[in-house]
């Protein structure tokens, strides 16, 4: 079943490569047309909140619709637990299936993907079945309710990475016109995914091309399955724009691909702390990716998973201290996806 998922992702990646190539040419034309217009940031402001009465985790977005092109997401975590904001492009097949079922797209996604994930995860989290059986059950359930999730697949388009409670992070990605679903799959103490508890929203990217320009990076990161995280340039105190290029993408044994997270550490030579952070980041382990990162680790944002060939820009705000770039994969050390660094006083 990993093979199926992997093939799906590779197919999606190939399609994205095709789309991004065509968009490259479209973008050149549009730039000429809009060059005399003033630039704007094409900003979506998102606030993560918690409704204590009903135990709902929510994204409050200042808009449900935005023009296409470079789009910046300002993600304010106003709740008591950690969150992120991952963006998936909804395939046309899902839009058609929702229409055929006479269901709103968001409901159709919830029933096709979000609910099956939670329903099949429950017995595994309770220790009643093993991981392999959970994955088999999950694939069967999603194939029945939301087959478009595997074929043609919903390409991940990045979005603000892990952001600690009380923190704000900012990430820019390029979005083409279409329908998108955004979610957070951090879990609560009952092993329930935030997406299942309300953190699932729809964003429409319109045909209108925004005048927002591609951000100018201060430093670059490249991530790939073969070389891991490669950092070019030194982070400095203050605001820094970090370009992240996804050279490729693949599927790891937690069924997801790689991404780049920025974490502030009380001491980045503390191996026990780093081990506990790695352990915490793995959603597929019961007890992990629950509520808040371990004491001594504070997530500052990053970029969620993207298809190979994609670029995201992280708007980081550094202060003196210890940090690491880390991918949310089960064994980031072996994959060369853990890079510690220090911003001097």
Residue nearest to Cu ion (CB): 184
Nearer to Cu ion, 201 or 322 (CB): 201
Nearer to Cu ion, 87 or 97 (CB): 87
Nearer to Cu ion, 46 or 186 (CB): 186
Select the span of 34-42, 179-187, 289-297, 323-331 touching Cu ion (CB under 5 A). Answer: 179-187
Q: Decide: is 194 part of the binding site for Cu ion (CB under 5 A).
A: yes
Q: Decide: is 167 part of the binding site for Cu ion (CB under 5 A).
A: no
C-alpha 312/C-alpha 305 separation (Å) is: 10
Select the span of 22-30, 131-139, 171-179, 187-195 touching Cu ion (CB under 5 A). Answer: 187-195
Nearer to Cu ion, 86 or 221 (CB): 86
Sign of CA dihedral 8, 285, 332, 314: positive
Select the span of 178-186, 248-256, 273-281, 326-334 touching Cu ion (CB under 5 A). Answer: 178-186
At closest approach, how far in Å is the CB of 290 from Cu ion? 11
Nearer to Cu ion, 58 or 139 (CB): 58
Which of 90, 142, 186, 203 binds Cu ion (CB under 5 A)? It is 186
Select the span of 114-122, 189-197, 236-244, 314-322 touching Cu ion (CB under 5 A). Answer: 189-197
Site for Cu ion in 280-339 (CB under 5 A): none
Q: Nearest 10 degrees: CA dihedral of 238, 243, 248, 250?
A: 40
Nearer to Cu ion, 150 or 299 (CB): 299
Select the span of 132-140, 194-202, 261-269, 271-279 touching Cu ion (CB under 5 A). Answer: 194-202
| Token pair of 19 as six digits | 């789309």
Size of the site for Cu ion (CB under 5 A): 4
Nearer to Cu ion, 184 or 274 (CB): 184
Select the span of 36-44, 145-153, 191-199, 227-235 touching Cu ion (CB under 5 A). Answer: 191-199
Q: Decide: is 184 part of the binding site for Cu ion (CB under 5 A).
A: yes
At closest approach, how far in Å is the CB of 284 from Cu ion? 16
Nearer to Cu ion, 194 or 339 (CB): 194
Select the span of 124-132, 186-194, 220-228, 282-290 touching Cu ion (CB under 5 A). Answer: 186-194
Nearer to Cu ion, 53 or 207 (CB): 53
Site for Cu ion in 71-90 (CB under 5 A): 83
Question: Within 10 A of 125 (CB to CB), how many other CB atoms are there?
Answer: 19
Nearest to 309 by CA among 2, 23, 93: 23
**Alpha-carbon distances of 213 from 1, 18, 22, 28, 31, rounded to whole Å:** 41, 22, 18, 12, 9
C-alpha 293/C-alpha 274 separation (Å) is: 11
Would you say 232 and 92 are in contact if contact means Cβ atoms under 8 Å apart?
no
User: What is the contact mask toward Cu ion in residues 237 to 276, using x (rule: CB under 5 A)?
Assistant: ----------------------------------------
Q: Decide: is 182 part of the binding site for Cu ion (CB under 5 A).
A: no
List contacts with Cu ion (CB under 5 A).
83, 184, 186, 194
């Amino acid at each position: 079943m990993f093979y199926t998922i992997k093939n799906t992702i590779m197919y999606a990646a190939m399609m994205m490569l095709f789309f991004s190539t065509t968009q490259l040419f479209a973008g050149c034309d549009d730039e000429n047309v809009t060059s005399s217009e003033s630039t704007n940031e094409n900003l979506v402001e998102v606030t993560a909140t918690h409704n204590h009465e009903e135990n709902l985790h929510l994204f409050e977005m200042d808009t449900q619709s935005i023009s296409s092109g470079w789009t910046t997401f300002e993600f304010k975590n106003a709740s008591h637990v950690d969150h992120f904001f991952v963006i998936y492009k909804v395939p046309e097949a899902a839009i058609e299936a929702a229409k055929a079922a006479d269901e709103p797209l968001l409901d159709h996604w919830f029933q096709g993907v979000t609910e099956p994930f939670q329903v099949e995860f429950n017995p595994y989290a309770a220790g009643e079945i093993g991981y392999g059986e959970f994955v088999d059950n999950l694939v069967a359930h999603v194939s029945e309710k939301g087959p478009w999730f595997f074929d043609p697949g919903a390409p991940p388009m990045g979005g603000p990475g892990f952001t600690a409670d009380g923190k704000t992070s900012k990430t820019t990605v390029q979005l083409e016109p279409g329908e998108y679903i955004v979610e957070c799959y951090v879990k609560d103490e009952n092993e329930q995914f935030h997406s299942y508890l309300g953190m699932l929203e729809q964003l429409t990217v319109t045909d209108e091309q925004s005048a927002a320009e591609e951000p100018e990076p201060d430093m670059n990161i490249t991530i790939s399955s073969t070389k891991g995280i490669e950092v070019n340039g030194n982070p400095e105190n203050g605001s820094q724009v970090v370009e992240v290029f996804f050279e490729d993408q693949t599927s790891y044994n937690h069924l997801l691909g790689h991404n780049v997270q920025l974490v502030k550490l009380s001491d980045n030579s503390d191996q026990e702390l780093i081990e506990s952070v790695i352990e915490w980041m793995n959603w597929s382990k019961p007890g992990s990716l629950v509520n808040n990162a371990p004491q001594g680790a504070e997530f500052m944002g990053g970029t969620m998973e993207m298809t190979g060939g994609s670029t995201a820009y992280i708007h980081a705000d550094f202060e003196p201290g210890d940090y690491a770039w880390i991918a949310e994969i089960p064994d980031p050390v072996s994959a060369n996806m853990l890079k510690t660094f220090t911003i001097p006083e």
